[in-house]
Amino acid sequence: MNSVSPSAVQYIVAGGAHEDKPSAQSRRHNGHGSVPDGIREGSGEPDEVDRLKAKFMSAWNNVKYDEVDRFRQAFVSCVWLTYRREFPQLEGSSLTTDCGWGCMLRSGQMLLAQGLLQHLMPLDWRWADCHPLTDVDFEVLKPRSPSRPAGMSLPSFSSSWTSPISQRDPSSGSSEGHRRTPARCPAASHEPQVEALHRKLVSWFGDHPSAPFGVHQLVELGKESGKRAGDWYGPSVVAHMLRKAVARTAEFHNLAVYVAQDCTVYKGDVMRLCELPESSETGWKSVIILVPVRLGGESLNPSYIECVKNILKLKCCIGIIGGKPKHSLFFIGFQDEQLLYLDPHYCQPVVDVTQGNFSLESFHCNSPRKMNISRMDPSCTIGFYAQTKKDFESLCSAVSEALSSSKEKYPIFTFVEGRGQNYGLEGQSGGSMDGPANIFSCNRMSRNNKRGSTDEFVLL
């Protein structure tokens, strides 16, 4: 599938609701195909059935538009963290960029950022300045019936990534209320306090030594496992680095990070980590659970594909860090057999997040990418978030059900009662992704470069 030009994307995004009798030109742009049977030029007034057909089609396309726009809002609101250049020199090295070696660190940052968005931001928060999607092939579905559309499915996110919209009956027709100009997210919060918190959250991942989750701090934590700036980091090592980074940040006294041991989540360990004294206000710390797993030998075991998709659907899932071999990505959803991801392989100039009104634009991506799930490296780390003890119990139940969908005899990982051995950061292996770094040219990975592979564009 090929990408469309930004102007074509703008047309589709801004088109909004369609009239009952769209023009031939708009039908070509929006992929509606031919006019319903019975409505032809020169055929006179359509009968009542044809009018109902046209009305139904118009309403159905509005429902489809809402889904596309909801996807846009959720995707663009994600925090996007990429290679940066010209930041302060990393201690113990002469490096002032992580281009070519830091992609797993950036993927880990994005996973943590998504957990913090859930932890701190309002449930239905969307970035107020989110932009229209670009480099996307928008193919509007042509419904054969309300329950069986003929065409590509919409991307599936975890329900935590999308805010619910009111369900409308497709046969109820279009209304003036459905017309919109989505240059800004309609569900976005413009409250100054909320946007200030969003900006503060992004600043925690800034590229300077004092940022608690910045590359400088993560590289320092990596030294405890024998890693240095410029080395390749695996998803398991990064999971433990994130755990230590959160534990050392005073602002997050009410949040813990738990890393599973040997593909096992020990409920007793999570309870011990999260339970607070009875005198505390909540009695429970919110928790981000990171599960390093291996989904096959040299390549992904196809038996796990359905299980991975079911995990990404869960409300408690905050994403997966992994990627292709020696090429880390942050997976956030899927569309049919394609994984949707945020790509850290864009070398952008450093942004001084210590300035009060620093630009947020380079921290949000409006160009979704995808890859076939069969190309996924088997070594990865899956992330979950639970705000309360009840949420944790629901998480255990929901994830266990998703894990049972695997065709393999043994699940990807398990939940067990009791406590396990307390492993530290040392000795943890990231599997096949811990090998030598695959070095990329900064120029080749510049943000404005066009990609050669057409399979990376998302079809909506």
Quote the DSSP letter at residue 383. Answer: E
User: In the predicted model, is pLDDT for residue 418 greater than 70?
Assistant: yes
Taking phi first (over 0 means left), then psi (-120 to 50 degrees means alpha), and beta for anything else, what does residue 260 get? Answer: beta
Q: With 50 as the cut, is the pLDDT of residue 406 above it?
A: yes
Per-residue tokens: 235? 């998803």
In contact, 195 and 189? CB cutoff 8 Å: yes
Among 48-62, 77-91, 223-237, 336-350, which stretch is predicted with the lowest mean pLDDT?
48-62
Question: In the predicted model, is pLDDT for residue 220 greater than 70?
Answer: yes
225 falls in which pLDDT band (50, 70, 90)?
A: confident
Q: Examine residue 146 and state whether it is found in any structural domain, yes or no.
A: no
**Is residue 17 helix, strand or coil?**
coil
As a whole number of angstroms, the distance between CA 105 and CA 329 comes to 10
How many other C-beta atoms are found inside a 10 Å radius of the C-beta of residue 59?
23
Confidence of residue 257 (pLDDT cuts 50, 70, 90): very high
Helix, strand and coil content of the chain, in percent to the nearest 5, comes to: 35, 15, 50
The reply to whether 391 belongs to the active site is no
* 97-144 residue pLDDT tens: 999 999 999 999 999 999 999 999 998 888 888 777 776 654 433 333
Assess whether 103 carries a catalytic annotation: yes
Q: Is residue 375 part of a domain?
A: yes
Query: Which residues make Cβ contacts (< 8 Å) with residue 138, sequence separation at least 6?
Result: 4, 8, 9, 12, 13, 30, 31, 68, 459, 460
Q: Is residue 216 part of a domain?
A: yes
DSSP state letters, 307-364? HHHHHHHSTTEEEEEEEETTEEEEEEEEETTEEEEE-----EE---TTSTT---GGGS
Write down the pLDDT at residue 318.
96
Q: What is the pTM of this model?
A: 0.73
Residue 395 lies in a domain: yes
The DSSP secondary-structure symbol of 176 reads G
216 as an active site residue: the answer is: no
pLDDT class for 45, splitting at 50, 70, 90?
low
DSSP category for residue 415: E
- The tokens describing 346, both together, are 């864009």
Of the two residues 433 and 242, the one the predictor is more confident about is 242
Cα(119)–Cα(282) distance, integer angstroms? 14
Phi-psi region of 431 (alpha: psi -120 to 50; beta: other; left: phi over 0): left
Does a structural domain hold residue 346? yes
Structural domain including 85 reads: 61-136+191-421
**Segment of 5-14, 132-141, 220-229 carrying the highest mean pLDDT:** 220-229
265 close to 415: Cβ distance less than 8 angstroms: yes
* Range from 17-31, 98-112, 188-202, 384-398 carrying the lowest mean pLDDT: 17-31
Number of domain units in the chain: 1
For residue 33, tell me if it sits in a domain: no
92 φ/ψ sector (left φ>0, alpha ψ -120 to 50, else beta): left
Q: How far apart are CA 266 and CA 282, in angstroms?
A: 22
Whether the pLDDT of residue 401 is over 90: the answer is yes
Average pLDDT over residues 222-247: 93
Mean per-residue pLDDT over the chain, rounded = 75
Confidence grade of residue 403 (pLDDT, cut at 50, 70, 90): very high
CA–chain centroid gap for 85, Å, is 24
The DSSP line for 191-254 is -HHHHHHHHHHHHTT-SSTT-TTSHHHHHHHHGGGT--TTS---HHHHHHHHHHHHHT-GGGTT
Contact residues for 275 (Cβ-Cβ < 8 A; gap 6+): 283, 284, 285, 389
Structure tokens at 88: 């302060």
pLDDT of amino acid 431:
37
pLDDT at 51: 73
User: CB atoms < 10 A from the CB of 97, how many?
Assistant: 18
Instruction: Choose the catalytic residue: 103, 130, 316, 347.
Output: 103
Of 32, 216, 345, 364, the active-site residue reads 345
Catalytic residue among 66, 69, 207, 343: 343
Q: Looking at the domain assignment, is residue 453 inside a domain? A: no
* DSSP H or E stretch at residue 392: helix 389-403
Q: What does the pLDDT average to over 359-382?
A: 93
Distance between CA atoms of residues 68 and 75, nearest Å: 10
Residue 427: the pLDDT is 38
Assess contact for 136 and 71: CB atoms under 8 A: no
Whether 72 contacts 333, CB under 8 Å = no
284 Cβ contact partners less than 8 Å away, ≥ 6 residues apart? 274, 275, 276, 388, 389
Q: Comparing C-alpha atoms, which of 348, 342, 396 is closest to residue 365?
A: 342
Q: How confident is the model at residue 61 (pLDDT cuts 50, 70, 90)?
A: low
Q: Is residue 130 part of a domain?
A: yes
The pair of structure tokens assigned to 315 is 């409300």
